[in-house]
Structure 1
């Protein structure tokens, strides 16, 4: 009798664990605890998760000026992402997030669960003897719709933002180059892309008895993935392709070639974004890129040839600015 009681307790405990899910919860003080979110979510599920099914949920909470933002990511036991949702709750206390967050999380898990047919439909009764005749005039039964057709995947989170930044670069221009850039960013789920336009200026370079100014006008395109989206912080590693025109301003002498030169770069970087208000983020963007075009810039002064500048093989740059995010 004692052995049977022990086996029953062990069986119940293992079933309860299999019927739950794993939640990693990062929330400020005063918000619902991990245990409260798990209990509220399980209470909203219409049916148990079932043995052998494991889900991993990553949830973060950010407290903004007039609302709380809850970001939820659902993965299976193989690490495959099944969906992500962002829940915005307007309230004075963080306790207000429990009901909407647990409801959204329960819906995400319910969508990910397999929709199995009942056993009575899977195994029809055995029939002995000749098959019954069917009236050809009788309407044919409709084939059941696939169970998964009713399950809609959670919509991807989309962000559109416009940024302005100050830029510093070393390697393309003589000395340090400074400038400004305007950037538009679009992200859908884990994918992100950006377009940017800007310019860089450097100080005048002496050549013989005169000087020359440099200005780089450029356009760039970026493509990357959102590696981290944790409440206030986002990290987006990306590749960048940049092209432009290097404008030269000689003062008192002639160039060996034209005053406009092509410029091209290919590189990679990491966009870091920190949310400081509901729609405002601070951005830092370090990048390293290889020069695809490296023209030798020479001038002639008083019949003498001077070497002025040639772009370095690798350029490093950093831009820091503000971004406004549209919803």
Structure 2
């Protein structure tokens, strides 16, 4: 893209623009961004009034910076909007990609827009007025409906695609005779507001004593997940998920005989809420409560002579809670 802009000749039809810029300390100034943009457009400062207002906001987020650009004309009509993410600790690095994107927005704006009215001269402050905190830059009067904001609402940001790998502790009730305890490994891929994932887990469910012996229970299963992101902020990500899983419910008998086989199929479907909260760069805490319906419910019996004794049948509904850590690759 840089080579493309560098090769463009100066075009008289490019609409003149002005930039309202809000950025943390250490970031490029508005003048730096404007000069870099005009360099890529291969044009000098225009000799006519600005026709476009570009509002630029820089926020620090998750080991990098997000630049929001919004272009409007004198009537307040939105012309273009872009979000740029730059990874790294130095805010100066946003200058190059911001100038390239801004040049694209200006070059694609329709020419001949009504010029912006000149800004009114500021009123002199009262002689004895107490000092006040600096307020954000006010755009020209022709843009009364599009004020610059130091931080856009989280919903306006485009969430970049990412992969997460998590290791969780798991507890469940309903599938095993007593509360199950185990571990789960989960991988997810998120793009836009959609989430997809796979998971493998293993749980033990204690021991049931019967007829002079005992039977231990284990549950191993694999799952497919899909979901939609409900909330994404700097402090919390929340997704509604659905799950389909299949596996094996296995028994380990001691001094008793289990009827049929020691391993039976198990199947579940369910829904839950996956919450992720950032701890340090890359690492997130995970909380994942779920409710499930048991699709395959096979009864386990032991035999004592010619008599069968039931020892466990999975419940029709089960609950599950996962707590752990995930690393997010962006």
Which string of whole-angstrom CA distances, capped at 9 and with x for unpartnered residues, describes residues 247-304 of structure 1?
A: 1112122222211111111111111111112221111111111111111211112443
Q: Which residue in 2 is equivalent to 1:196? A: 199
TM-aligned CA distance change 1:84 to 1:222, over 3 Å: farther
1:253 aligns with: 256
> Does 2:289 align with 1:295?
no
The question of whether the paired residues in 2 share the 8 Å contact of 1:279 and 1:324 is answered with: yes
The 1:203–1:159 alpha-carbon spacing in structure 2 relative to 1, beyond 3 Å, is same
Contact 2:66 2:83 in 1 (8 A): no
CA apart distance, 1:167:
0.5
Deviating above 6 A after TM superposition, structure 1's stretches of 4 or more consecutive aligned residues are 42-47, 57-60
1:241 aligns with 2:244: yes
Deviation at 1:226, TM superposition (A): 2.2
* The one of 177, 180, 184 aligned to 1:181: 184
Distance 1:253 1:196 in 2: 34
Question: Which digits, 9 at most, give the CA deviation of each residue in 1:127-149, with x for residues without a partner?
Answer: xxxxxxxxxxxxxxxxxxxxxxx
1:20-51 residue CA offsets vs partner (Å, 9 max, x unmatched)? 99xxx9x9xxx57xxx99x89x979997568x
Long gaps (5+) in structure 1: 1-18, 75-81, 120-153
Quickly say closer, same or farther: Cα 1:20–1:182, change in 2 above 3 A.
same
Confirm whether residue 323 of structure 1 aligns to residue 326 of structure 2. yes
What's 1:86 paired with? 85
Q: CA RMSD in A?
A: 4.3
The aligned residue for residue 94 of structure 2 is: 100
- Given that residues 71 and 230 in structure 1 are in contact (C-alpha distance below 8 angstroms), is that contact kept between their aligned partners in structure 2? no
Which residue of the other structure, out of 275, 278, 283, is the alignment partner of 1:272? 275
Q: 1:233 to 1:249 in 2, by over 3 A?
A: same
2: CA distance between counterparts of 1:43 and 1:219? 54
Query: Displacement of 1:209 after TM fit?
Result: 1.8
Residue in structure 2 matched with residue 286 of structure 1 by the alignment = 289
Question: Partner residue of 1:164?
Answer: 167
Cα distance change on mapping 1:59 and 1:187 into 2, 3 Å = farther
SS of equivalent to 2:280: coil
Matched, 1:223 2:226: yes
Query: Is residue 306 of structure 2 the alignment partner of residue 307 of structure 1?
Result: no
3-state DSSP of counterpart to 2:296:
coil
Return the alpha-carbon distance in structure 1 between the equivalents of residues 106 and 254 of structure 2: 69
**d(CA) in 1 for partners of 2:69, 2:230:** 13
The equivalent residue for 1:209 is: 212
TM-score of the two chains, using structure 2 as the length reference: 0.61
Cα distance per residue 1:187-233 (max 9 Å; x no partner): 12222111111111011012222111111110001111222221242
Q: Secondary structure at the match of 1:226?
A: strand
Alpha-carbon separation, structure 1, partners of 2:106 and 2:233: 22
For the 8 Å contact 1:87–1:101, the answer to whether it is kept is no
Q: TM (normalized to structure 1)?
A: 0.62
In structure 2, relative to structure 1, the CA distance for the partners of 1:183 and 1:71 (3 Å cut) is farther
Query: Does the residue aligned with 1:172 lie in a helix, a strand or coil?
Result: coil
- Map 1:6-21; keep pairs closer than 5 Å: none
**How many Å separate the matches in 1 of 2:242 and 2:224?**
8
On the 8 A contact 1:217/1:246 being kept in 2, the answer is yes
**Are 2:163 and 2:187, in contact at CA under 8 Å, matched by a contact in 1?**
yes
Q: 1:244 Cα deviation (Å)?
A: 0.5
Structure 2 segments unaligned to the other structure (5+ residues): 1-17, 39-49, 71-80, 114-156
Take 1:239 and 1:72, find their aligned partners in 2: how far apart are those partners? Answer: 33
